[in-house]
Amino acid sequence: MIPALSGLADEALLLAGGGRAILLQLADPAIGHAVAEHSDFASDPLKRLRNTLTYVYALVYGTDEQVAAVRRMVQVAHAPVRSERDADIQYDASDPRLQLWVAATLYETAIALYERVLGPLPEHEAELVYREYAVIGTALGMPRELWPADRAAFARYWDEKVATLRVDDTVRAVSVQLLHPRTGPLWMRAAMPLVRIATAGQLSPELRAAYGLEVSERRYERLMRVTTAIYPHLPRRLRRAPRVHYLRRLDAPRALSGGATRRCARRSAVRR
């Protein structure tokens, strides 16, 4: 368990920032085109968020086996994600600069939401949480020195990076699949109007316009006021339920695989 980060990363509240973090990631043309060409949001709109949550929960709270499992999963998923040599936009999922941007969007979104609803972290704790968030990138091979040295350096990196973001038709089409899914569980599709309000409300006006998103500031602020009034008083077990769910889900395939291996061994023994 990563001490300072463990007090923040398992808040269910942070799921409300998932759409915002993904759209920020996609606005880096390299990531946006990699996702457009190697992922299928139309058939499984929750997949990227689900995989990201599992990865983060395992790194922060998981056993050594769970950490190794998510690293392998990500490495296998990223291995074929490379652009053609003659592509207009070049990308490689193993590029440390792209890993840095993904980690940065997760950190910045988590901190913004947490402090909006639960209040600012003490200065020393905020700096420690920031330093620990580097593990989101370093676990994939990003050099530790690539993570900005402190929060002031991160703020400069963030401003410079945001100024380079660009949303083209390809990336915009992926965002439509994400925010207007035609497949997926009924509960998810029923929740999408609120998700769209939360996602658009957390983006800058420039990115909202680039993605073609419309949001009523009044409705967004009302949503945040209700969240701030209710969420801090929820039972702790509800606030940590996503973390518990995703770590159990991570173990399930390995358990099933082990069970299948044992069943095959038994059937083989019977045949002999």
Query: What tens digit of pLDDT does each residue of 193-213 get?
Result: 999 999 999 999 999 999 999
* Residue 269 binned pLDDT confidence (cut-offs 50, 70, 90): very low
Amino acid 257: pLDDT: 44
Segment 74-119, tens digit of pLDDT: 999 899 999 998 899 999 999 999 999 999 999 999 999 999 999 9
Assess whether pLDDT exceeds 60 at residue 260.
no
Question: What are the CA-CA distances from residue 119 to residues 19, 52, 115 (Å)?
Answer: 22, 25, 4
Amino acid 106: pLDDT: 96
Question: CB atoms < 10 A from the CB of 28, how many?
Answer: 21
Percent of the chain predicted with pLDDT > 70: 92
Amino acid 3: pLDDT: 79
pTM score, whole prediction: 0.89
Amino acid 263: pLDDT: 36
Assess whether pLDDT exceeds 70 at residue 259.
no
The amino acid sitting at 176 is: V
Amino acid 116: pLDDT: 96
Amino acid 187: pLDDT: 83
* 254/206 Cα distance (integer angstroms): 44
Assess whether pLDDT exceeds 90 at residue 264.
no
* 214/256 Cα distance (integer angstroms): 44
**Residue whose entry in the numeric block shows the structure tokens 């676990």:** 139
Amino acid 267: pLDDT: 34
Segment 33-77, tens digit of pLDDT: 999 999 876 678 788 888 999 999 999 999 999 999 999 999 998
